Structure 1
C-alpha cells in the first residue's frame, strides 16, 4: 500500500466489501451460463488492483463464487499473497456432520471472516433456510464469531427474515440489497419486504449487485438510487457497506459505473456517515481491523 494508505486511520480506510476472484473452469462455475460470456475467463488480484487504485480504495473482501471448500483455501492463499485483500468470505457445507472439524482447520486463518452459500440457486431457498442441519451449522459458525453472507432474491425476503431471527448470535450480512425485483419498478414495495430484516440489529446490508438486477443495457441511476436511499433510511450508515460485485458487475457496466452510482447516493450524508459506508462498517462487522497493513 502507498504511504497515504498506511497513514490512514482504520476508520478512514475505503474498502470494496464484495468482489470475486476465479480461474475459470466451466464445470466449477455452473452459474456462469450463456448470458455471462464476459465472465468466462480468469479474474485475479492483478486485474482488480488497478481499479481499486483508480477509485481511491485501500483494499477488498474476497467472496466465494464456488461451492467447495477448496474455494476457501484458494481465496485465503490469495489473501496471504496480497495484503490489500483484507478479508475472505469462504464456503463450507454448513450441513456437514464434520463441520466443527472443518471450521477448526481454519481457526488460525485470521483473514477468514465469514462464510456464504449460494442459497439463491437452491431449488427452494425458503425450505433450505429451514433445514435443521443448516441451523446446527449456523450455531457453530456464529459461536466462532464468523459472519454469514446471506445471498437470496427478493421473493425469499420473508423467509430470510425468519432465518435471521433464529440466528442472532453474530452478524448476518445481506448481499446485494436482497436482489430486488426491479421489473416491478416499485422501490417502496421492496422497502416493505426488506423492513423486517432491517429491524434486526444483527443484520446489515451491502450496497452492491444492483446494476446486474436491472436491464443490463438500459439501466439508469435514477432507477436504482431510490433503493440506496431507502436502504440508508432502513439500515442506517452503520449497517451498510459498499461492494462492487466485480467482475460480475461488468455484465451491466464498468467498475467506475458501480462506484459512481454508490458515491452519488452518499452526497447528502455527513463525513462520518460516508466513512462508515465506504469502509468503517465492513471493518467493524467483519472484524478486519487487525488485517489492514
Structure 2
C-alpha cells in the first residue's frame, strides 16, 4: 500500500487562511477529498494522512469527519492545545476515533524556547502515554531545540516535517546538515521528504537541487525512517503532484520506495 503521509484539506477562509499570501493565490480555494482522490489514483497512491492546517479543535473534528467519509484518508494528524492543563482529556476524547493518529502545532511560528517549556512538554508526556505521534513543523534555527525535545522523550514517536524547511536554492547549509545528522541519532525520530518544492526561490522547480538534500536525509535517517509527503495542495504553487512524486521516484530504487512511499508511514502512524 502506497501512502502520502502529508496533505491538507480546507474550505478556504481568507481570514483564517491569511498565510496563503499573494504569490500562493492559486490555492486560495477549497481543497476537499473529491479533489484529491483522482490525483492519488492517477499517481498510484492508495491513501493519505490528512494533516492539520489550522490550529483549532474544529480543524481536528473537520478532518476526522472527512476521514470517516472517505476510505482513502487513512489517518488524521490534528491539533490540540498542548499547553492546556486538560490536554490529556482532550487527547483521550479524540483517541476514540481509530483514524486519529497524532497532533501537530505550527512550531515554526513560536519563539525560541517554546519546545522546552514545561507546559508544552507536559503535553508531549500525554501523547506518549496514549501512543500518539507528534509532527515537528520547524525551521532550521529550531533544530537544536528539536534535538533536545526528542532526546527528553525517547519513547515518543516524532516525525520531522519538510526536512525542517531549508532554503533549497541556496544549497546545503552546514549547520542544517550537522543538526539533521544529530537529530537522526534519536531513533524515535522519522523524517518526511516533503515540502521541498515550496522552499525554492520564487517557487521554481529545480529537480537537480533536491538531490543533495535527499542525500543528507537518507544518509542520516536511512530509508527505513523516511516518509514521502506531497504537501498537497500547498505544493501546487510550485509543482504538480506528479512532479513532486517524481523527485522521490527518480532518486530511490524500487525496494527503497516500498518503504518511503508506504511501509514507513504505515509503521509510524499505525495504519
Compute the TM-score of the two structures, normalised by the length of structure 2. Answer: 0.96
1:236 is aligned to: 222
Greater relative CO (CA pairs within 8 A, separation 6+):
1
Question: In the aligned structure 1, how far is the partner of 2:42 from the partner of 2:268?
Answer: 26
Give the direction of change, closer, same or farther, for the CA distance of 1:196–1:41 in structure 2 (3 Å limit).
same
Whether the 8 Å contact between 1:209 and 1:244 is mirrored in structure 2 is: yes
Q: What is the distance in 1 between the residues matched to 2:270 and 2:161?
A: 18
Corresponding residue for 1:69? 57
The residue that corresponds to 1:129 in the other structure is: 115
Matched-pair contact (CA < 8 Å) for 1:242–1:278: yes
- Alignment match of 2:71 (pick from 67, 80, 83): 83
Instruction: Report how far residue 56 of structure 1 moved.
Output: 0.3
Where in structure 1 are there 5+ consecutive unaligned residues? 1-12, 289-293
Aligned partner of 1:281 in structure 2 is 264
CA offsets 1:145-200 (integer angstroms, 9 cap, x no match): 00000000111111111111112222100000111123532255532121111111
RMSD: 1.3
Over residues 40-92 of structure 1, what are the superposed CA-to-partner deviations in whole Å (9 max), with x where a residue is unaligned?
A: 11000011111101110000000000000011111000000001100000000
For residue 14 of structure 1, report the CA deviation from its aligned partner: 0.4
Deviation at 1:35, TM superposition (A): 2.8
Contact 2:205 2:239 in 1 (8 A): no
Please state whether the residue corresponding to 1:246 is helix, strand or coil. Answer: coil
- After superposition, the Cα gap between the structure-2 partners of 1:266 and 1:135, relative to the gap in structure 1 and judged at 3 Å, is same
Tell me the distance in 1 between the aligned counterparts of 2:31 and 2:145.
33
Looking at structure 2, the residues matched to 187 and 128 of structure 1 have their Cα atoms a distance apart, in angstroms, of 24
How far 1:215 moved relative to its partner? 2.0
CA contact (8 A) 1:229 1:265 kept: no
| In structure 1, C-alpha distance between the alignment counterparts of 2:65 and 2:106, rounded to whole Å | 22
Matched residues in 2 for 1:250 and 1:278: separation?
19
Offset at 1:104?
Answer: 1.7
Number of positions where the alignment pairs a residue of Structure 1 with one of Structure 2 = 271
| Conserved 8 A contact 1:216-1:251 | no
Pairing 1:263–2:249 present: yes
Q: Where do residues 25-104 of structure 1 align in structure 2 (5 Å cutoff)?
A: 25-104=13-92
Cα distance in 1, alignment partners of residues 202 and 239 from structure 2: 8
Cα shift at 1:105: 1.2
Task: Give the stretch that moved more between structures: 42-51 or 25-34.
Answer: 25-34
Conserved? CA contact 2:197–2:203, under 8 Å = no
Q: What's the counterpart of residue 167 of structure 2?
A: 181
Counterpart of 1:6? none
Find the aligned partners of 1:164 and 1:62 in 2 and give their Cα distance. 23
Cα distance in 1, alignment partners of residues 53 and 103 from structure 2 = 11
Change (3 A) 1:260 1:216: farther
